[in-house]
Structure 1
C-alpha cells in the first residue's frame, strides 16, 4: 500500500534562499521600529541618494566620448559640474525672517 504523504519539502513560497535572509531581517526591523528609524540605522537613505546621482550621471551619457585621457578627465569634470548645478538648483534657500 502506498502512503499518501508527500515528502517534507517546503512549498515554493517557503523555501529559504540565502538572499532572502537580509531582506527578511530588514522587513522585520521596519515592522518593529518604523521605516524612518530603519533608514537612519541602515544607511538606506545614503544609498538611495547615491543611486539617484548615478542615474543622473548615466543620463548625461553611458560612455565617455573622448579617447584621450586628459579629455576624458575634462569631460568628467564637466559632468560633475552639471550635476553640482542640478543639486544646487534643488536645494531650497532658507532665510531667517525678522
Structure 2
C-alpha cells in the first residue's frame, strides 16, 4: 500500500522524508522508503523487537528502536520532527473546507 502511494510521485522527483504512524513499522514499508533514498520517520510499535537482518533499512530501524528506548517516545517525536505529520494532516483537512 505504501509503495503504491510513493509510486504516484515520479521516480525522478526526490523524496526527503516519509512520515507515517507505527502501523507502517514493517520491513516492507521501510525497504520501499529506502529504495527511494528517503528517510523513514516511523515510530516503532510499542512491542517492537530488533530485526536480525542486516539491510540498511533494518539497521536504521534498530538504531531508532534503541534511541526511542533511551530518550523515550515523547522526546524522540520532538527530536525527529514527528509532530509535523499531525500538523500537515490538519492543514490538508482544513484546506478541504
Q: TM-score range by the shorter chain?
A: 0.3 to 0.5
TM-score of the superposed pair, with normalisation by structure 2: 0.38
Q: Which is helix-richer, 1 or 2?
A: 1
Q: TM-score, normalised by structure 1?
A: 0.38
Which structure exhibits the higher relative contact order, with contacts defined as CA atoms closer than 8 Å and separated by 6 or more residues?
Answer: 2
Q: Higher Cα Rg: structure 1 or 2?
A: 1
